[in-house]
Chains A and B, each alone.
Chain A
């Protein structure tokens, strides 16, 4: 078991960050002061607006006697001030432990404010895969209260990972729309737009994370989930789009893929040439599930890739199989236990490490380039990968690490 968690943040924080990016939704952190403070600061980084966090800041007496009353009061206050369409209670470790009656609170609020939907997600004690699970449960909580709408035949729902993806899926949706396929992206910046996911006939997850979300959509609305593969890199994006084309019978989409490949492949070849000249071994350690997607892009470029996967759901397993088939021994999945990332560095001797913050502090002092997984988001489509590849060696800043190795050797 690792000595620490190599993750971006706790489930409550990522749930807050997710839900805090959707207009019409207000998250309430149900937990003690420490949770509210820590998660507010943590989510400030990525929330675009409405940066203040609402929480119940449970005191000791409320922990002992129950905080349901305070929670109900907070929900009503929030509604009076902001008139949200949905309030999501983020149920943190402490109230989960004491077994708060959230369903009871929700029923009581419904009686007083029938037009307000209230739901909850349980984010306590999610470890490992704290961050990605926080994404998934927060979306599932929203799906729990969406209203049915008429199914749109032949339409596709793109199901993404996190709030960062809201309104940022143009790299895929623009191609689908161009092909004439009715497309719904989940999440979206506004709850009304996001709610349209229930109209999608087919759900095509574009990340490993939203397994529970897709399952819930299927249970409640009958949408059929088709996990193809991560639409990252040139081949990954093409295969994903071709699969959607086959699913929807859309010839135009196939033509678009051919056109995009004609545009992308020359650039990809140049990138692959760079990687051939500079062979690299890259270690990617359990990010917010994008360790697999970035690893996939790097494998396509020609790097040797070692991935410590964060997810182990059906989507993740399928993706791993695809990568193994496509890249063989070029991609290694490290599933064994380890104490520290430094141990993995000692074992695999990577040239570059992609990890989360906790890994960095171990690795960087050895003057090995260490990128933060959390910086590499919205990694879908052709252009992200091409831009990433074309600037990759420059972004490593090897000359700086070499300079410092020289300084240390000479003076220290």
Chain B
């Protein structure tokens, strides 16, 4: 029997699962300790997804797991964990770090008790909070690593710890490489990176560093740095995000000043090089007339740093930014009118359509949205990713990072915009002599004003050509409707909203003009004469009526007849 009940759907907001949790944060934070063993106390599925994700984005990430079964979860996972720890101890790692998974957090197993029996000295248990954020997971893990640290006998002069980079932080490898290079150029060494590609020994001696530097101050590391300051007296710096030439110089100057190092000659060389670079033709041509949308809400530090750099030093408009905290939103809002905090995919999509950025920086989901909506220019700048080859060569941070960002963004926009304006390599240039209606001709001029100067004349050619071809296919002149179809088809998203304004205004103006261009009869017209007038093209009818009446008055005709119209036509040479 058919179900005839009338169901009303509840108003549920779909929460897209594209933001990593505290469990990811904790795992990513500790996976990078190369001579430690990470045990993910989790069912097989959780472990598999985490390890696969890491393998697709990092060089050689290793994770062990207890692979707990349903029965084990029901009866208690302590024994399994204990056995696992004993096996791992036999490998003699420098440390063992146990991360609990959501299932274990729900059952509330006494994980600490379970591993205590092993007696292993360097064994840390990290329990990420259920419902916690990525940043909370990382911060918790960093704090857990403090158990490995040993008080410093002596501080090593001119050394820093870089706090914050972890596995699966977008582009950390190249950023750390560049920041290390910059520090080295002024005689400062990196004692430890907490905690990507570091060793247990480096963590143990972290308190020996003279200074902690928080690399991602809008994301994680500050709580940890504060705790290290309390416990070991290690001061920290977190005031600057080293993205762009200015902020990279400020970051390095700040550190140099701390160590009383004369870094001015080196910094001067770098910023002079930066000035020479950004004043090249293609850079200013491209950036001055472009706008970017930043969807980097899994790395607020990038959102803040990149938006400031692109806007202040390159003149690029930031039309939209997605962040995950109010602090980041506040840092960006003075240069970006549309800042979204933890937006949904739909919210991003709607704003992108409205704002039509020239380039989008984001993650895999953003790439998919961009592709679906027809945006062509995209740069990866955030996680999550379904896989990515990261190297040390493409930083976003530091002086090299500033150059790389400009290169990547500029080339993406410049080349693709030109390709968009071209027809086929051996294609036809014009469809032939196709008449254009006046409205359409005027609307084309309005469209021109939307286009960046450096591609304006050639981009218009493409629209003109396609409009001609379309009109030819329809066996008609180019009308406003055809031009609108072509304009939308040519760039379906970038100028959609703006094009609509052009066509609506043009139609209104045409309606007004047509209304005001109605013939005004100040003399009596016989029907036959009116019918002859109706054969005159609409845009000339009002003038024709007026001129005919003027002619009639000059020749003392008191009424407009067909004969009068015919006489006037002959006089004009028709």
Contact = CB atoms under 8 A, between A and B. Distances in A.
A296 interface: no
A411 B253 contact: yes
Given A52-B425, A164-B457, A192 B279 contact: no
Given A23-B432, A167-B430, A252-B543, A395 B288 contact: yes
Nearest to B459: A48
Interface string A176-200: 0110100000001110110000000
A189 B281 CA distance: 30
A49 B427 contact: yes
B275 A365 contact: yes
20 contacts: A20-B429, A48-B421, A48-B461, A49-B424, A49-B428, A50-B428, A164-B457, A170-B436, A177-B441, A189-B464, A190-B431, A372-B281, A375-B456, A377-B457, A403-B246, A404-B275, A407-B271, A407-B275, A412-B271, A412-B272
Q: Please provide the 3 A-B residue pairs with the shortest distance between their CB atoms, ordered closest to farther.
A: A49-B423, A189-B430, A23-B430
A387 interface: yes
A317 to B, nearest CB: 27
A399 interface: yes
Given A22-B430, A403-B246, 4 more contacts: A23-B431, A164-B457, A372-B281, A407-B274
Contact of B428 (A23, A174, A357, A384): A23
A50 B427 contact: yes
B379 interface: no
B224 to A, nearest CB: 30
Contacts of A376: 453
Interface in B334-374: none
B562 interface: no
Given A173-B441, A411-B253, A192 B278 contact: no
B192 to A, nearest CB: 29
Given A48-B462, A168-B460, A378-B457, A408 B430 contact: no
Nearest to B288: A397
Determine the interface band of chain B, counting residues with CB < 8 A from chain A.
35 or more
Contacts of A384: 445, 448
Contacts, number: 165
A189 B460 CA distance: 12
A170 B249 contact: no
A364 interface: yes
A404 B288 CA distance: 14
A20 B428 CA distance: 11
A21 interface: yes
A367 B249 CA distance: 19
A48 B465 contact: yes
A360 interface: yes
A116 interface: no
Interface string A314-352: 000000000000000000000000000000000000000
A383 interface: yes
Most buried by B among A178, A188, A360, A412: A412
Contacts of A189: 429-430, 461, 464-465, 468
Nearest to A263: B509
A193 B438 CA distance: 17
B428 A407 contact: no
A264 interface: no
A88 B235 CA distance: 75
Most buried by B among A48, A173, A174: A48
Interface of B: 245-246, 249, 253, 264, 267-268, 271-272, 274-276, 278-279, 281, 284-285, 288-289, 312-315, 418, 421-433, 436, 438, 441-442, 444-446, 448-449, 453-454, 456-458, 460-462, 464-465, 468, 539-540, 543, 573
Contacts of B421: 48
A127 B429 CA distance: 30
A49 B445 contact: no
A198 to B, nearest CB: 15
A103 B281 CA distance: 42
Contact of B429 (A49, A171, A377, A383): A49
A345 to B, nearest CB: 15
Contacts of B468: 189
Contact of B438 (A178, A192, A364, A375): A178
Contacts of B442: 170, 174
Contact of A378 (B288, B456, B573): B456
A381 interface: yes
B284 A171 contact: no
A382 to B, nearest CB: 10
A400 interface: yes
B120 to A, nearest CB: 50
Nearest to B265: A412
A50 B267 contact: no
Contact of A411 (B264, B424, B445, B456): B264
B255 to A, nearest CB: 14
A188 B464 CA distance: 11
A192 B264 CA distance: 66
Contacts of A171: 445
B272 A167 contact: no
A360 B281 CA distance: 7
B458 A51 contact: no
A45 interface: yes
A184 to B, nearest CB: 11
B445 A46 contact: no
B313 A400 contact: yes
Contacts of A174: 438, 441-442, 445
A180 B432 contact: no
Given A190-B433, A404-B278, A46 B543 contact: no
A180 B540 contact: yes
Interface string A46-64: 1111111000000000000
B246 A21 contact: no
B429 A46 contact: no
A381 B449 CA distance: 13
Contacts of B429: 20-23, 48-50, 189-190
Contacts of B543: 180, 252
A387 B312 CA distance: 24
A167 B464 contact: yes
Nearest to A371: B453
A395 B456 CA distance: 15
A383 B464 contact: no
Contact of B268 (A20, A360, A412): A412
Contacts of B462: 48
A370 to B, nearest CB: 8
Most buried by B among A173, A174, A365: A174
Contacts of A168: 448, 457, 460-461, 464
Nearest to A376: B453
A47 B429 CA distance: 9
A48 B457 CA distance: 10
Given A45-B418, A49-B424, A174-B438, A411 B457 contact: no
A185 B77 CA distance: 85
B464 A177 contact: no
B276 A365 contact: yes
A383 B271 contact: no
Contacts of B540: 180
A403 B278 CA distance: 12
A220 B281 CA distance: 43
B317 to A, nearest CB: 10
Contacts of B274: 407
Nearest to B543: A252
A384 B460 CA distance: 14
A180 B430 CA distance: 26
A22 B426 CA distance: 13
A193 B468 CA distance: 13
A52 B426 CA distance: 7
A23 B468 CA distance: 13
A399 to B, nearest CB: 7
Contact of B271 (A52, A173, A361, A408): A408
A153 to B, nearest CB: 8
Contacts of B449: 383, 387
Contacts of A367: 275, 279
